[in-house]
Amino acid sequence: MGEVFLAKDDRQHSVAVKVIRPELASARSFRNRFRREVDAARAVSGTYTASVLDADPDGPVPWLATTHILGPTLAEAVEAYGPLPPRSVLALGAGLAEALIAVHSAGLVHRDLKPSNVLLSADGPRVIDFGIVRATDGYELTLSGVLLGSPRYMCPEHATGNPMGPPGDVFCLGSVLAYAATGQAPFEGSSAATLLYQVVHGTPDLTGVNAPLDTIIGGCLAKAPDARPSPDRVSAACAPGGADALDWGDWLPEPVAAHIRGQAAALMDLDLDLETKVNAVGREPAHAAALATAPGPGNLRVDPRLAAVQRLVAERSSGPGRVVLPQEPKSVPTHEQPPERPAVQSPERGTHRARHSTRPKPSRRRVLTAAALAAGTGVSALLYSRNSSSAAATPAGPAPEPLWTFRSEPLLQAPAVFYNDTALMKTQSGALFCLGLTDGSRPRWTYQGISQSPTPPLLVSDVVVALGTGATVLGVDAVTGAERYALDFGADFRFDTLLGGAVGTVTIVGLRFDRQDRPDGSRGPATSTNVVLGTNLKARLAQVIPISKQDIGLDLKPFIDAERFVYMDGLHRLTARDGTGRGNVLWSRPLASGSDSRSAPVVLDDTVFAADNELIAVDLRSGALRWRVRQEKGGFASVAAADATVYCTTRSPHGVEAFDAADGSRLWFCETPRLNLDNPLVAGADAVFVTAEDNKDGFYAIDARRGELLWNFTDNRDTGINEWQLSCDTAPGTEHPLIAQHFDKVYALPMPRN
């Protein structure tokens, strides 16, 4: 939603200011959600939460200021120093339970209690981030068909879409305490869907948790909400004498306490460094504007001295609203270091050793330093900025000017789909719209009411097929946008992913629910199973396609035709299944695996190409291996094929490699600046397109024949998790432009021609 800045109020107290990204502030749903967060945070008061000082949810750039809590998040502390000792976990449980008492007393449910939303301060834990709270009176701000929250720390009722009350927060508390005690969440899985399945049906892994923590955590993790203890009982179990009677001055292990001392010293150094620069420039007249309009002490105002600092460093700006200083921040040594722990296995990070650092590891951005004014707010801030790697190749020329640009409401993370001379796209608010490729300045038609599933629509003849809410499949005329049909498959399903299919059928991934009747006639809690459905649109039938247990919940990314369903399975095998309801395995081909990610296989001239540590070419019908190529250093990330050539992105070094589709011979390799390897590459007849690691750096075009870096296109916008989506039409005889989407902008760029 935004960025959090370290700032000063007019009393020179440190505060944390959460600022909504300007491009998100224009979306009503984001602004409503932020306003709800502000109201909730203001309503909650207690020792173990961060107090709200001021806010302006309705301003041009909405912001929220809270007390600044010195200390790492629980996630950062465990990653750097390992699990907390039992006495610290018991104290943590008491403090978090007291925080939940304050939240629930305000008539709210937090719904997103997780390690990154828990700060460890020297005088106790603090719960932060009320971004997806729910009022116990039934008000819920969310999107139809979308679960907001973190799957690893959800409760069963939230995961199945049922109402979540205060007992749901207690379940999340149990998961957080299990993580604090063991370094691992109690439920694990290779995808969000698998995690949700484990949360609903699985047994928590509490290996190594001893009494009394095992009993406390186990009670919190009861599947039935009414079987869980209340927060006051959890607090009493963790601290029989009361949370306020605990010795909070000694509640953390020494490495974490030293980390906090280091943070405090670093903050003092930054203050002194900033003061030195201000004095060097000279003081400015006290004419800075107020940040907040609400009266009363503690209102946030710009320190007038900082105008001089802004002018001092403006020349070193790395972009609008981002100003950085040249030197690295001073490191603050600690006198004691924790002993080195043995390497441990993590499902997310692989084998690693604990970091012995006095600072938590920044999640995505390396620290450069920073003193700046947050764009649109005038808050003096200390910023984190990512250090871009130097270009491994220099573009041959400038990027072309867009043929046209369309400004939309925020778009879903799904590439455009081409139909004749138009492109079809989806928005976050549930709209499907059509732009002409020669002039996309305004939509030819718009259809409202689709789901927020981040998958592109499908074309079945001249009908655009998309998912509606729940278990609804919608058909829209591709020329006029008029609704052709709306098929509802009932309350026993929830559809979330729309895949390809043969004529008249589509393949859908979703959940199937089973609700047992209670003796009193009411419906019991729902259990759910992840399913793949072959859906006959004409007959209005959804038939389950059986898949293996290890494939449940995976992002399948299959190739689908009338006879088969080809995908990378849970054991990293390229597998083809019968596309009918039998789902029999037709053939399976193992790959040398080097990563947990699974790229989508592609098909060209009856050959399937799949990539991991190696690239293989397999006969589509028989599964016979045609050729294979190994990538020795880091493996391949994604694969695309066009015009008798196969292209792969590489991990070490970052770049694109091209192979002859017939025999696998290498054609060329183009090293690039760092890429977003989670995004697929896009191949056209004469160029290949890949997205940069930082989305503000846009994407690159590479000559498909010579392997030369042609140009880099960017709009210089950092849109957070909203990444570039690229599409090009490779149908023979077409000369359609490249369609590039970036959050709320659509750009049409001329395709390179050889």
Residue 257: the pLDDT is: 94
Quick one: CA torsion of 109, 111, 117, 122, rounded to 10 degrees? Answer: 40
pLDDT of residue 53 exceeding 60? yes
Asked whether residue 134 carries a pLDDT value surpassing 60, the answer given is: no
Q: Where in the chain is the domain with CATH 2.130.10.10?
A: 389-414+599-754
The per-residue pLDDT for 357 is 27
Judged by DSSP in three states, 51 sits in: coil
The C-alpha angle 383, 385, 390, rounded to 5 degrees, equals: 160
List the structure tokens of 243: 């949370």
Strands (E), 421-504: 422-426, 431-436, 445-448, 458-460, 463-467, 472-477, 483-488, 493-498
Q: Which residues contact 472 (CB under 8 A, 6 or more apart)?
A: 451, 486, 487, 488, 489, 495
**Architecture field, domain 24-57+70-254:** Orthogonal Bundle (1.10)
Report the C-alpha gap between 730 and 685 in whole angstroms: 7
Distances (CA, A) of 468 to 175, 239, 254, 418, 721: 33, 49, 53, 20, 24
Residue-level pLDDT at 320: 29
What the block records as the tokens of 419 is 């139909």
Mean pLDDT score of the chain: 77
Q: pTM for this structure?
A: 0.55
Q: Does position 384 have pLDDT exceeding 60, yes or no?
A: no
pLDDT tens column, 506-516: 888 877 777 66
Question: Is residue 385 within 8 Å of residue 318, measured between CB atoms?
Answer: yes
Higher pLDDT among residues 369 and 189, named by residue? 189
Q: What SS3 state is found at 128?
A: coil
Q: Assign 652 to helix, strand or coil.
A: coil
Q: What is the pLDDT of residue 562?
A: 77
pLDDT reported for residue 316 = 29
Q: What is the CA radius of gyration of the chain?
A: 27
**Dist CA 183 CA 179 (whole Å):** 5
Report d(CA 600, CA 598) in Å as an integer: 7
Of the ranges 528-532, 682-686, 720-724, the best mean pLDDT one: 682-686
Q: At what angle do helices 166-182 and 231-238 cross, to 10 degrees?
A: 30
Active site residues: 112
Q: Which of 299-308, 418-427, 585-594 has the largest mean confidence? A: 418-427
- The lowest-confidence range among 396-400, 418-422, 539-543 is 539-543
597, pLDDT greater than 70: no
Helices (H) and strands (E) in the chain, counts: 11, 46
User: Buried b / exposed e across 207-232, counting CB within 10 Å, b at 16+?
Assistant: eebeeebeebbebbbbbebeebbebe
Percentage of the chain surpassing pLDDT 90?
A: 36
Which one has a higher pLDDT value, 316 or 282?
Answer: 282
Q: What single-letter DSSP state applies at residue 284? A: P
Residue 62, pLDDT score: 84
Instruction: Indicate the CATH number for domain 389-414+599-754.
Output: 2.130.10.10
- From 712, 647, 713, 650, select the one nearest 682 (Cα to Cα): 647
CB 26 within 8 A of CB 58: no
Is the N-terminal amide bond of 285 cis, ω within 30° of 0? no
> Contact 575/567 with Cβ under 8 angstroms?
yes
Instruction: Map tokens 């789901």 to a residue.
Output: 451
Pairwise CA distance, residues 538 & 558, whole Å: 23
More confident residue, 106 or 53: 53
Instruction: List every span in the chain annotated with CATH 1.10.510.10.
Output: 24-57+70-254
Does residue 622 come out as left (phi exceeding 0), alpha (psi in the -120 to 50 range) or beta? alpha
Distance of alpha carbon 62 from alpha carbon 730, whole angstroms? 43
Q: What would the 3-class secondary structure string for 204-263 be?
A: CCCCCCCCCHHHHHHHHCCCCHHHCCCHHHHHHHHCCCCHHHCCHHHCCCHHHHHHHHHH
Helix (H) or strand (E) holding 509: strand 505-517
**Cis omega before residue 212 (within 30°)?**
yes
Complete DSSP assignment for 148-210: -S-GGG--HHHHTT----HHHHHHHHHHHHHHHHHSS-SS--SSHHHHHHHHHHPPP--TTPP
The answer, yes or no, to whether residue 556 has pLDDT greater than 80, is no
- Higher-pLDDT residue of 390 and 294 is 390
Lowest mean pLDDT of 64-68, 125-129, 385-389, 611-615, name the range: 385-389
Judged against a pLDDT cut of 60, whether residue 187 lies above it is answered with yes
